[in-house]
Amino acid sequence: MFLEKIYLSNFKNYEEANFTFSKQVNCIVGENGSGKTNLLDAVYFLALSKSAIHSQDALSINHEADVMMIDGIFKKNKKKHQITCSIQRGQKKVLMHDKKPYERISDHIGQFPVVLIAPDDTDLIKEGSEDRRRFFDGVLSQMDATYLSDYQQYNRILEQRNSLLKIFFERNFLDQDLLDTYSDPLVKLGIRLFEQRKTFIEKFLPIFKIHYSILSEGREDVDIIYESEVASGEFPQEFRLNRNVDVKAQRTTKGIHKDDYVFEIDRYPVKKFGSQGQQKSFVMALRLGQFEMLQELREMKPILLLDDIFDKLDDRRIQKLIESIDNQTFGQVFITDARPERTEKILANVKAEVNYIRTNPSASK
């Protein structure tokens, strides 16, 4: 599976642009601010119906425009698939497959799997639990449509329950029966999502450890510990007894939206005790584990997006990555770099077909 070509209209700094890609390695090079990461994000957007950078779709529309469009051709199982995504300010996003709108955009997720390795990936270690949950939820959503549906439903009910709790607080009263209409399905969905997350981590952990061992040459032992209040066999009762706390807080204070994934190295937190190199290896192993899990489940190699990684990795880790490209571990690969001469030198002896795309800010505006 690979992306043959893409057309952009008013997507970020691109007023109008066409690109054709190699099914192996594509190097997007150019000055900072010329649109390298934006082009990478367009590929990500087309595959997952959202930006990797912005949570609000409207932020992907060129400042001078009211409508943006991304149109691309994927080739999968010897068949071509046209995917078109358009967004108009103030309107719902439209996603089409071969010119037919999806009934549910979620049906698109996982059809064209993609893995992004970006400079801010170390935020998974440095920042709070929300970033780690978002990472694992993203992986699971590409792998399992049922998980994505349950996760979206959970968040809808959570938002509704939080709105109700705020009303109860402001009016100084509590209608337990009304609250239960949201609490009961939230608990059931939470338990189901917990079981799915738990099962996933059990499968993911050994794969992740192998990738970390390769990157670090077996120097340390790493672990991921999944923590959840839902793990308690008494969680439904605990959730119900917590209602007065929830009203006072004006939000739901227990549930899988509070889960965390603890990252450890030699039984100590990576955040506190991992060196910069160890942290980079840790997040790289997370992404490579994601790649392998998606490949196994979908029976195809995901598109691999590498954003500005040569500035962030040392020579040894870069060499390991290039060896993987050379060994055809990956399928289609996109690499961004502000220094073309460096990329050309690093990829000089790679057997795969390498296509260079030079971005030009004046040509894309």
Q: What is the mean pLDDT of the chain?
A: 92
Residues comprising the chain, all counted: 365
Evaluate if residue 181 carries a pLDDT over 60: yes
Q: Judge whether 14 and 364 are in contact, CB under 8 Å.
A: yes
Evaluate if residue 122 carries a pLDDT over 60: yes
Domain 1-113+301-365, classified CATH 2.40.37.10, yes or no: no
Amino acid making up residue 92: K
pLDDT of residue 361: 53
What SS3 class is residue 273? Answer: helix
Amino acid making up residue 103: E
Evaluate if residue 86 carries a pLDDT over 80: yes
pLDDT band at 31 (very low <50, low <70, confident <90, very high): confident
Beta bridge partners of 115: 304
Residue 306 CA: distances (Å) to CA of 43, 281, 303: 12, 15, 10
- Angle (CA) 166-172-177 rounded to 5° is 75
> Average pLDDT of 86-103?
94
CATH topology of 1-113+301-365 equal to that of 122-299? no
Q: Judge whether 185 and 255 are in contact, CB under 8 Å.
A: no
Segment (H or E) for 3: strand 2-11
Q: Determine how many CB atoms are found less than 10 A away from the CB of residue 55.
A: 8
Burial of 35 (0-12, 13-18, 19+ CB in 10 A): buried
- Provide the token pair at 180: 């239960």
Read off the pLDDT of residues 202-251 as tens digits, 9 standing for 90 and up: 999 999 999 999 888 778 899 999 999 999 889 999 999 999 999 999 99
**Sequence spans of domains, the chain:** 1-113+301-365, 122-299
User: For the residues of 274-335, what is the DSSP string, one character each?
Assistant: --HHHHHHHHHHHHHHHHHHHHHHHTSPPEEEEES-TTTS-HHHHHHHHHHHHTT-SSSEEE
- Taking the C-alpha atoms of residue 16 and residue 68, their distance in angstroms, rounded to an integer, is 10
Which pTM does this prediction carry? 0.89
pLDDT band at 55 (very low <50, low <70, confident <90, very high): confident
Read off the pLDDT of residues 286-320 as tens digits, 9 standing for 90 and up: 999 999 999 999 889 999 999 988 877 777 778 88
**Domain 122-299 classification at class level:** mainly alpha
> Average pLDDT of 262-277?
93
> Average pLDDT of 193-197?
97
* β 354-358/25-29 pair status: parallel
- With a CB cutoff of 8 Å and minimum separation 6, the contacts of 47 are 3, 112, 113, 114, 303
Evaluate if residue 362 carries a pLDDT over 70: no
pLDDT band at 360 (very low <50, low <70, confident <90, very high): confident
- Angle (CA) 54-314-348 rounded to 5° is 95
Read off the pLDDT of residues 139-180 as tens digits, 9 standing for 90 and up: 999 999 999 999 999 999 999 999 999 999 999 999 999 999
